[in-house]
Structure 1
């Protein structure tokens, strides 16, 4: 790589970083930040021996990314698709066929997901791209996006990739100690998050759907938080912890 190549990379990176707050670039903010950090610590991109002093997170290749190009083209051109799909199930590796109108591609925790209108079930469904066995773009089938679907609003009340149909978001509240509160301040769980400091505790509030991803986070931090509301989520966390204790006691 010669000096002109390096200058081109630096120029492109600096240009993109100037616009990182624009909506069109916000989804790439983390990637742009990593590129900027690498240029900052090694302007000539010579990283030989650099891992003795600084190590970046190594993100594995996102499985299913080979389907992104044809799916994106189908979404843009409003072509229907057919999927052969296998779910993550312990009791079966059976393949299921779906006829879909593809609406949106979304990345979450280094996995790609497809949102599409299920023509048979008549509602929006989510599919992990890494579980797609075969993909057939039906160029002769055109569709119109359902008027009720707004890509920018669909995940507004979701913590993760799960959206519970027409369910309304709920007020979720828990208390935590100062250390966890500081972590949540620097990396909020959700855009609705607020943290109120009270004597000897911090109260965290969210306005979200009670999704699998929310329960998963609460369970993972159960030793650091006290659930305040709603009651049904508190009971779900307790039941999950009781199952975990019972399983560990079997060992």
Structure 2
């Protein structure tokens, strides 16, 4: 809103700016209550329905709301697993405030720092930060990645010359599902070089795609 005011724009001006959104997003009606719980440092009992597994109640200390790929996530301390986890708002079926439990505050730094080594929101604590190196064989893909890097750590190691002399790039992150999903967008024009465990996992997903579509 402040940026709009700098340009002399108000809600009464003509339609000239669009933001990515999902009008049919399930669970966003919980946003206001979850935001207030974070600000008020309230412990919650959340009815959660994971993608895999049974719906259950979880005692949760909420810390942060984050949007990724038109989807909202609640980050906080999950008492059941004794670790920080994120819950997708569209999988939260309901929540209530729990009295009599002391709120456990977040003891780390800022959340920009917390998420800086991942693409998306999923942090695998047992997976170290790694250099994911890949070749880019297509000039359009190369130019696109230069102008729209999918992570702030993306670096050019070798410039593109031709399909026979491809570019080389690397991204320094903690591998997760979201990283694989992003790289799969470019799967027909890139080749993962290293590390080998990530390369093999990436190849396995491509083989599965081929099997499903043959």
Give the alignment's TM-score, normalised by structure 2.
Answer: 0.85
Is residue 185 of structure 2 the alignment partner of residue 220 of structure 1? yes
| Unaligned runs of at least 5 residues, structure 2 | none
Partners of 2:119 and 2:22 in 1: CA distance: 22
Does the C-alpha gap of structure 1 residues 12 and 169 become closer, same or farther in structure 2, counting only changes over 3 Å?
A: closer
Is residue 189 of structure 2 the alignment partner of residue 229 of structure 1? no
Aligned to 2:155: 194
Q: CA deviation at 1:180?
A: 0.8
Partners of 2:134 and 2:45 in 1: CA distance: 43
Aligned to 2:213: 248
Residue correspondence of structure 1 range 92-111 to structure 2 within 5 A: 94-111=54-71
Residue among 59, 65, 88 paired with 2:21: 59
Aligned to 1:165: 125
Q: Judge which range, 167-176 or 195-204, deviates more.
A: 195-204
Partners of 1:190 and 1:12 in 2: CA distance: 24
Is the CA contact (8 Å cut-off) linking 2:141 and 2:186 kept in structure 1? no
Give the alignment's TM-score, normalised by structure 1.
Answer: 0.74
Aligned length: 208
Q: CA deviation at 1:220?
A: 2.6
Q: CA deviation at 1:105?
A: 0.6
Greater share of helix = 1
Does the C-alpha gap of structure 1 residues 145 and 222 become closer, same or farther in structure 2, counting only changes over 3 Å?
A: same
| Unaligned runs of at least 5 residues, structure 1 | 1-8, 19-35, 48-53
Q: How big is the alpha-carbon RMSD for the aligned residues of Structure 1 and Structure 2?
A: 2.8
Aligned to 1:144: 104
Query: Could you give the per-residue CA deviations for residues 115-137 of structure 1, whole angstroms, max 9, x where no partner exists?
Result: 11012321011110011111102
Q: CA deviation at 1:166?
A: 5.0
Is residue 81 of structure 2 the alignment partner of residue 121 of structure 1? yes
Does the C-alpha gap of structure 1 residues 80 and 55 become closer, same or farther in structure 2, counting only changes over 3 Å?
A: closer
Residue among 124, 135, 140 paired with 1:175: 135
